[in-house]
Every structure is written in structure tokens, then in C-alpha cells.
């Protein structure tokens, strides 16, 4: 049995993220923590024990505890080997924050978290998705074609929204929901954006990345391409961030179930107040 080559260097990513912990939480972490708390507030349940998997899990955990909806939160850093080591049915809620977008085996991680939930336990995750950082990706590609005549992976691929709901169902979650928050963030220049990504620990974690240092010429070409194509009239550049939010529940018999085919007790024609018409059978004479 062959194993697919990894897309992300999770060991490198884990080391970078570890260096960011212990400092003041980033604005990204604070923003996501507030959104997670707001979404939790909509759930009419209280949870005894929850797990938080995040680059800066302590701040997320503190914010969720302050909601009054959770009695105890256990923080976890992202797993370098993607083995979470969570005991089966050990949590009433699990929060995965900005980790799945750099996972090599997203279905596998989702299954691990679903199995770690007690029946009717809540799963809430967010990840960068869709067109996030598309401007930076296009700028690097244009610069490499201009300077080197080829391309190398520099901005991580993002999961499309259509795939996310299917992934939740595939992992065995009940009542899966996926939605997207799209934000345009503006920076003074492209270099400021690149520095912020590096400070967050997310700079190029791709396993197939070029090991050659970025030359001044290549960086300058990328910055020029960014400003030429994605700058506003005031000279500031735009960066797209699309944050996907996933919600699901560990299956439980008390949850609402879809009706079985043929179990409807009313006709659609009656509801629409129109006469019912039988469909004609297909004919083989071409009519």
C-alpha cells in the first residue's frame, strides 16, 4: 500500500507555531476567539469538558471559558504527526482553530475528533479556505516566471467550500454545516503582509517548497507584481481572507433525523394548490 506524499511539512510548522506561544496573542487569534465565542453563545447547551486545538490554544480556551457555556477547557497544540491522541468519547465539545488548512489528512483528523466526542457532542472548527491569500499566490507566481522562468509552491493550497460539508459527512458528523466569512484586509505594502504571515508562524509550510533563499530580485518582483495588480488608489494593498466555519455533532438518537423516502403524508401538489399531473412514460419511437 502506497502512502501519498505529504503536502505540508507539519514538523516544521509545529516548530514555528511553538515559537509564537507565550507572547501576546495575535490579532488573528483574538478575532477568531471572539467569533468562536459568539457562535458558541448561539448553542443552547452547556458543556462539561471541551478541547481546543489551536496555535495559541490558551487564549482561545480562556475566551471560551468566559462564555459561561463550558466548565473545563483542555488546550492542545497542533499535532506535528497529525495523531491527536484523544481518548474515545472523552469530550463534550471540540474546537479546532486554524489548524485544518495545513493538515495532510483532513478526513483523518476529523474522524479522530468525532470519535473523541461523547454522543451529541459539539464540533466547531475554523480554517482558512477558498480564495485566502490569492493575491499573494498570484504575485509570487508572476515573480518566479519573470525571474527564474519557472514556479515553485510558496502559498499553501486552500480547501474549497464545496468540499468541506462533504468532509464532515464523510467523517460521520451529524447535522453538518459549513459557512464562510470573507474579509479584505489592507496593508501599507506587500512586505508588511509577508512579515505578518511569518510572525504568525505560517510562512510557506509546504513540503515541496524551494530550499533556496529568496533573493532580493525575486522578492522585489513579487512586491512589484502585488502593487501593480492589487493596490488601491491610496497605495495600500489588499489581501483576501476567507475563513470557513464548520459545525457538526457526534451522532445521537435524540437528534433530528431526515424523513425516509416515501414517508411524506402530504402531496406537493396540494401544498402548491395546483392539479397533479402524471408524467408521460418515455417512448422509444423518438417522440
Q: Can you tell me the mean pLDDT for 130-144? A: 95
How many C-beta atoms surround the C-beta of residue 177 within 10 A? 14
- 286 pLDDT exceeds 50? no
What pLDDT does 287 receive? 46
pLDDT tens sequence across 145-169: 999 888 888 888 899 888 998 999 9
Taking the C-alpha atoms of residue 151 and residue 134, their distance in angstroms, rounded to an integer, is 15
How many C-beta atoms surround the C-beta of residue 59 within 10 A? 21
Taking the C-alpha atoms of residue 187 and residue 241, their distance in angstroms, rounded to an integer, is 13
Q: Which residues contact 150 (CB under 8 A, 6 or more apart)?
A: 144
Q: Average pLDDT, whole number, for the chain?
A: 89
Instruction: Give the global pTM.
Output: 0.85
State the burial class of residue 43 (Cβ atoms within 10 Å of its Cβ: 0-12, 13-18, 19+): middle
Per-residue HEC secondary structure of 182-251 comes to EEEEEECCHHHHHHHHHHHCCCCCECCCCCCCCCHHHHHHHHHHHHHHHECCCCCEEEEEEEEEEEEECC
Q: Enter the C-alpha cell of residue 234.
A: 491610496
Q: Which of 96, 21, 87 is nearest to 53 (CA)?
A: 96
State the burial class of residue 157 (Cβ atoms within 10 Å of its Cβ: 0-12, 13-18, 19+): exposed
Q: Can you tell me the mean pLDDT for 221-233? A: 97
Task: Give the rounded distance of the alpha carbon of 107 from its chain centre.
Answer: 12
Domains with residue ranges and CATH for the chain: 10-256 (3.40.50.150)
What pLDDT does 25 receive? 87
Q: Enter the C-alpha cell of residue 47.
A: 458543556
What pLDDT does 254 receive? 79
What pLDDT does 209 receive? 87
pLDDT tens sequence across 228-283: 999 999 999 999 999 999 999 999 887 766 555 555 566 655 655 556 666 555 54
Across 92-101, 193-202, 256-265, least confident range? 256-265
What pLDDT does 29 receive? 92
What pLDDT does 264 receive? 56
pLDDT tens sequence across 57-73: 999 999 999 999 999 99
Taking the C-alpha atoms of residue 101 and residue 8, their distance in angstroms, rounded to an integer, is 10
Q: Can you tell me the mean pLDDT for 40-50? A: 95
Taking the C-alpha atoms of residue 54 and residue 29, their distance in angstroms, rounded to an integer, is 9
Q: Enter the C-alpha cell of residue 213.
A: 533563499
Core vs surface per residue 111-135: b (16+ CB within 10 A) or e: bbbbbbbbeebbbbbbbbbbebbeb
Q: Enter the C-alpha cell of residue 284.
A: 422509444
- 46 pLDDT exceeds 60? yes
* Total H helices, total E strands in the chain: 9, 6
Q: Can you tell me the mean pLDDT for 201-217? A: 90
Q: Which residue has the cell 508572476?
A: 142
3-state helix, strand, coil in the chain (%, to 5): 35, 20, 40
Amino acid at each position: 500500500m502506497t502512502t501519498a506524499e505529504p503536502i505540508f511539512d507539519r514538523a516544521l510548522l509545529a516548530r514555528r507555531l511553538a515559537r509564537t506561544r507565550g507572547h501576546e496573542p495575535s490579532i488573528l487569534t483574538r478575532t477568531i476567539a471572539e467569533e468562536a465565542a459568539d457562535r458558541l453563545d448561539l448553542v443552547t447547551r452547556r458543556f462539561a469538558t471541551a478541547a481546543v486545538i489551536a496555535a495559541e490554544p490558551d487564549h482561545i480556551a480562556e475566551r471560551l471559558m468566559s462564555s459561561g457555556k463550558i466548565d473545563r477547557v483542555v488546550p492542545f497544540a497542533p499535532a506535528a504527526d497529525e495523531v491527536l491522541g484523544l481518548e474515545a468519547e472523552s469530550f463534550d465539545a471540540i474546537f479546532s482553530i486554524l489548524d485544518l488548512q495545513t493538515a495532510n489528512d483532513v478526513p483523518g483528523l476529523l474522524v479522530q475528533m468525532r470519535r473523541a466526542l461523547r454522543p451529541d457532542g459539539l464540533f466547531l472548527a475554523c480554517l482558512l479556505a477558498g480564495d485566502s491569500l490569492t493575491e499573494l499566490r498570484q504575485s509570487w507566481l508572476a515573480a518566479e516566471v519573470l525571474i527564474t522562468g519557472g514556479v515553485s509552491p510558496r502559498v499553501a493550497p486552500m480547501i474549497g467550500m464545496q468540499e468541506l460539508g462533504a468532509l464532515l459527512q464523510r467523517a460521520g458528523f451529524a447535522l453538518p454545516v459549513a459557512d464562510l466569512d470573507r474579509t479584505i484586509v489592507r496593508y501599507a505594502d506587500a512586505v508588511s503582509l509577508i512579515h505578518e504571515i511569518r510572525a504568525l508562524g505560517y510562512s510557506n509550510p509546504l513540503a515541496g517548497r524551494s530550499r533556496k533563499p529568496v533573493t532580493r530580485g525575486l522578492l522585489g518582483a513579487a512586491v512589484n507584481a502585488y502593487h501593480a495588480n492589487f493596490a488601491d488608489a491610496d497605495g495600500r494593498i489588499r489581501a483576501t481572507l476567507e475563513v470557513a466555519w464548520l459545525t457538526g455533532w457526534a451522532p445521537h438518537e435524540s437528534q433530528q433525523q431526515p424523513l425516509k423516502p416515501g414517508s411524506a403524508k402530504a402531496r406537493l401538489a396540494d401544498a402548491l394548490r395546483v392539479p397533479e399531473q402524471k408524467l408521460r412514460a418515455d417512448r422509444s419511437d423518438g417522440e
